[in-house]
Structure 1
Amino acid sequence: MFKHTKALMVATIIFSCMFLCCGEDEVSHEYKFVLAWGSEGTEDGQFQNPHGIAIDSQNNIYVADVENYRIQVFDSEGNLLRSWGSQGVKDGEFQGPNDVAIDSADNVYVVDTFSNRIQVFDSEGNFLRSWGSEGSGDGEFDRPFGIAIDSSDRVIVADRYNHRIQVFDSDGNFILAFGAEGEGDGEFNHPIAVATDPSDNIYVVEYINCRVQKFTSDGTFISSWGELGSEEGQLRYPQGIALTSDDYVLVADTNNNRVQQFDTDGNFFIEFGVMGTGDGEFDHPQGIAIDSDGYVYVVDTSNNRVQKFIYE
């Protein structure tokens, strides 16, 4: 009897430990809200319909403040460092700065959507160069939207209304283009955001087809995932994408008011966010960026703010 009771007690303790460990593991593996900054307005640190976001080598945060026609730069705690830009078509002026990317020298590339060009600045906001004009030829754009830079400083642009991806060197010289309008593999319907992994594979978010497509660096189709819907792995008009240091893909599932995480083969992993205005809630999230410490920054567009998270 004593041996039986002792064995039962040991089994109970082991089971309890396993349960507690699993519980702690589940709790620890989630995206946790850290802080947020921004509100609607035109003053320093305020936003009007922000979209894109990028992070430099010092973990400074660059936000495309679309309807204020400027780029705002913050430290990782949300303190404003500087800003530049105004409405117009001259060098350093913008007509819809929808996305931003940073190269290895911390130069800043801005998609100036309605001017159909890419503008390049140093990290202080001094204009360096630009390229692009309206059209459908090589190096021309029809309302470009998303931008990313790979490990070789090639510039990848989502040429939205031409339904293609264009790739340039850092001086704006055309390298290649791929894609055409459609729903098949390698075809696009409003490509709106792009990202690259350490192997320079290219990930493209499609706004209308509600999916992510993955390509090699030369534009060869690899795989795709996603469809219209609100279940796990489904997307509703997504508009942002970023990759973690351990090769997970974060997608801003904009009209589902959440962020979904996948592996690089498109297998669903986790999601966070619901509709709302509270901490960790979203109203049409769009841009996503990840700093060198693993913090995730999400542009909460219709709430006119940036939210910061950590996975732990």
Structure 2
Amino acid sequence: MTFVHRISVLALTAVLGVVALASGQAVNDLPNPYTTHQDHFTLPDGRTWGSTSAVDIAPDGTSIWVGERCGTNSCAGSDLDPVLQFDAEGNVVTSFGAGMLLFPHGIHVDGDGNVWITDAQGPREDAPETAGLGHRVIKFSPTGEVLLELGEAGVAGDGSDHLLNTPCDVITGADGSIYVADGHGGQGANATPDTVARIVKYDAEGNYLSHWGGWGSEPGQFRTPHGLAWDSRGRLFVADRGNVRIQIFDTEGNFQDEWKQFSRLSGIFITADDMLYGADSESSETSNPGGWRRGIRVGSAATGEVMYFIPDPAAEPGGTTAAEGVAVDANGNIFGAEVGPSQLVRYTR
């Protein structure tokens, strides 16, 4: 490619990103500079991948932590460890959490290497093995010691206090405060204004401080707040999946902005240099009309420009496909945690 041609391509990409930012118009033909590796990770002998939406990077910048649903789409009744750490070569180096989680959904690795997991289901009367589990966030040490629990195991909150109800994701702030994206049912056909859909804030010791949101589509409301990420300015980005947008807040929950150009995000990850990686695992003409394709969109958390797109390889996807969770290591490798295909995929540039 000549220098002039390359500049022209980059200019066109920028224009397309700005058009998408202004109008929400679907842009699926952005460059894809990434190579897909579906067989990078090796599980212990006899174990196969189940659904996973939870992936994050350890403080060393290269180790990968995953929350995996015990070979199926639930850990109910399983004796497998759902929380696994992989080295850069894709080998398991530690695992823990057997019997403690029903539906590992969101994951956050804090600056001390502690691993936070959200359990986004609760007990069912027809499944006695689920009793006393779910509806909580567990903070583990890197070796699997339980350090803190948010919510109450097996007890569904109503969105008014510290109790949680199918929490989707968790993240810690610069001062140690904890933020939980609470409520997985807001995008469903049966959702009502009473459906839990909020961000809950706790102090570093796990004491409830406040919450904001509520079910709906106005600024500051949510229909399944599914993923959380910070940018370099300390703004909290929320993947408001049911409303097909990102919402941006300050640390006290004051609304700052909303973006639609990254599509219908399930997962979101922002690097230290403000590159935003958004995983769309559910777009369809029903859930996100206008021709949006599923996949991972890469752009700027500073400007909102979308630069690259890794498309879902499924020509006619159904259900949930492509990455639902996304993380990026210090070398720029992208990791996509996939629920429907039940795999963890590595993308290199």
| Range of TM-score over shorter length | 0.7 to 0.9
SS in 1 for 2:161: coil
Paired amino acid for 2:228: V
The match for 2:129 is none
For the pair shown, the structure with the greater C-alpha radius of gyration is 1
**2:106 maps to 1:99:** yes
Query: Following the alignment from structure 2 to structure 1, what is the Cα–Cα distance between the partners of residues 208 and 46?
Result: 36
Match of 2:63 among 60, 63, 66: 60
Question: By how many angstroms is 1:45 displaced?
Answer: 6.2
Structure 1 segment 160-309 matched on structure 2, within 5 A: 160=183, 161=185, 162-226=196-260, 233=261, 235-236=263-264, 238-255=265-282, 256-264=293-301, 265-276=303-314, 283-309=321-347
1:38/1:47 contact within 8 Å kept = no
Identity across the alignment (%): 21
**Structure showing greater relative contact order (alpha-carbon pairs closer than 8 Å, 6 or more residues apart):** 2
Question: Normalising to structure 2: TM-score of the pair?
Answer: 0.72
Query: Following the alignment from structure 1 to structure 2, what is the Cα–Cα distance between the partners of residues 193 and 43?
Result: 32
The match for 2:174 is 151
Query: Following the alignment from structure 1 to structure 2, what is the Cα–Cα distance between the partners of residues 45 and 249?
Result: 33
Identify unmatched segments of 5+ residues in structure 1.
Answer: 1-15, 88-92, 227-232
User: Which structure has the highest strand share of the two?
Assistant: 1
Question: Normalising to structure 1: TM-score of the pair?
Answer: 0.79
Q: Which aligned segments of 4 or more residues in structure 1 are displaced greater than 4 angstroms?
A: 19-26, 38-45
- For these two proteins, the number of residue pairs brought into alignment is 278
CA-to-aligned-CA distance 1:229-287 (integer Å, 9 cap, x gap): xxxx3624x3100012321221111123311123224333221122339xxxx933111
Identify unmatched segments of 5+ residues in structure 2.
Answer: 12-30, 76-81, 122-133, 186-195, 283-292
CA-to-aligned-CA distance 1:199-231 (integer Å, 9 cap, x gap): 2211111221111101111111111011xxxxx
**Alignment RMSD (CA, Å):** 2.8
User: Which structure has the highest helix share of the two?
Assistant: 1
1:45/1:80 contact within 8 Å kept = no
